[in-house]
Amino acid sequence: MKEDKPTTKSNTILSAIVVAKNEESKIGECLESLSFCDEIILVDSGSTDSTIKIAKQYKANIIHYTNGSFTQWRNEGLRYAKGEWVLYLDADERVTPLLRNEIIQLTNKSSEFSAYAIPRRNIILGKEMKHGGWWPDYVKRFYKKDCLKKWTGDLHEEPVFAGNLGYLKNPIVHLKHNDLSEMVDKTNKWSEVEARLLYESDHPDMSWWRFFRVMASELWLRLIKLKGFLDGAEGIIYAIYQSWSKFLTYAKLWEMQIESKNNKQ
């Protein structure tokens, strides 16, 4: 549900856009790291905790959008942004002082690029992961507003922009997973979405050998090819976990396919 209308604001150089829901334990540090921005826009998708109260302490412009997807929420934030530049950040991410300085320098000079990908330092189970595909983990988050057209995609949203893509040097800190319980909760949620997308794309019927193939492929990729084992016990655990996550997604896909066949009988 859209509940607000954009208001005009002039002389705004940099707008930060954050999408959040029930992030009271993380949103404060996130917004603190964005305090150098001219405006902060929080697109809230239905928080029932103290997220909004905390965001107001940082003078964030609260936009209520309770339905939709990450793509729609990111687009809604863009609709309200008044800055010449826009920076997207998630509630579990932080802008470091070095990245802040790099961004400020770019907003103060002309650039050949209209969009920038930013590397991320992924902290998983309390450890920074440097292997397994988790570094540099570039994400496209910084744009000249006039060049960013929209976001698309149902799960892994992608930006549509005019111009060239550049790469920043300094990273975002991403507090990806604090513990196994949090990991399991998020995986259970997002595997449902991934399975639904696979089902709607008419994925071939799941058979027993497909489960072994997707799990083995993911484990080989994360643990061996991308050398996840070099991150120690945490790297090994997370590589195995990623294999299990793939299994869960495809098991839910199998469940949907069986249910569909039964309904047709």
Model's pTM, two decimal places?
Answer: 0.90
- Predicted confidence at residue 156, as pLDDT, reads 81
- Predicted confidence at residue 210, as pLDDT, reads 95
Q: Are residues 103 and 211 in the same domain?
A: no
Beta bridge partners of 140: 117
Q: Which domain holds residue 235?
A: 179-260
Residue 264 burial by Cβ neighbours in a 10 Å radius (0-12, 13-18, 19+): exposed
Alpha-carbon span 188 to 192, nearest angstrom: 7
Does the structure show a pLDDT above 50 at 3? no
Q: Are residues 38 and 93 in the same domain?
A: yes
Average model confidence (pLDDT) across the chain: 93
Q: Are residues 22 and 101 in the same domain?
A: yes
Q: Are residues 39 and 161 in the same domain?
A: yes
Q: Are residues 103 and 227 in the same domain?
A: no
Give residue 265's pLDDT band: very low, low, confident or very high (50, 70, 90).
Answer: confident
Phi-psi region of 167 (alpha: psi -120 to 50; beta: other; left: phi over 0): beta
Tell me the pLDDT tens digit for each residue of 84-126: 999 999 999 999 999 999 999 999 988 899 999 999 999 999 9
- Predicted confidence at residue 67, as pLDDT, reads 83
Does the structure show a pLDDT above 60 at 7? no
Average pLDDT over residues 71-78: 96
Q: Are residues 112 and 212 in the same domain?
A: no
CB 95 within 8 A of CB 34: yes
Neighbours of 168 (CB within 10 A): 19
Residue 3 forms part of a structural domain = no
Average pLDDT over residues 182-189: 92
- Predicted confidence at residue 9, as pLDDT, reads 41
Q: What are the strands, taking DSSP E only, across the chain?
A: 14-20, 39-44, 61-64, 85-90, 93-95, 115-118, 120-124, 127-128, 139-144, 148-152, 158-161, 165-167, 172-177
- Domain final position from 151, 176, 201: 176
Alpha-carbon span 212 to 49, nearest angstrom: 41
Q: Are residues 125 and 194 in the same domain?
A: no
Q: Are residues 71 and 87 in the same domain?
A: yes
Half-sphere exposure of 183 (CA within 13 A, CB side): 20
Q: What's the Cα-to-Cα distance from 198 to each of 209, 239, 243, 251, 256, rounded to whole Å? A: 17, 22, 17, 11, 10
Alpha-carbon span 34 to 54, nearest angstrom: 14
Q: Are residues 172 and 134 in the same domain?
A: yes
- Retrieve residue 6's tokens: 């954009």
- Predicted confidence at residue 4, as pLDDT, reads 46
Q: Are residues 191 and 241 in the same domain?
A: yes
- Retrieve residue 78's tokens: 């863009």
Compare 157 and 31 and report the one with higher pLDDT.
31
Q: Are residues 172 and 183 in the same domain?
A: no
- Predicted confidence at residue 154, as pLDDT, reads 76
CB 125 within 8 A of CB 131: no
Q: Are residues 194 and 242 in the same domain?
A: yes
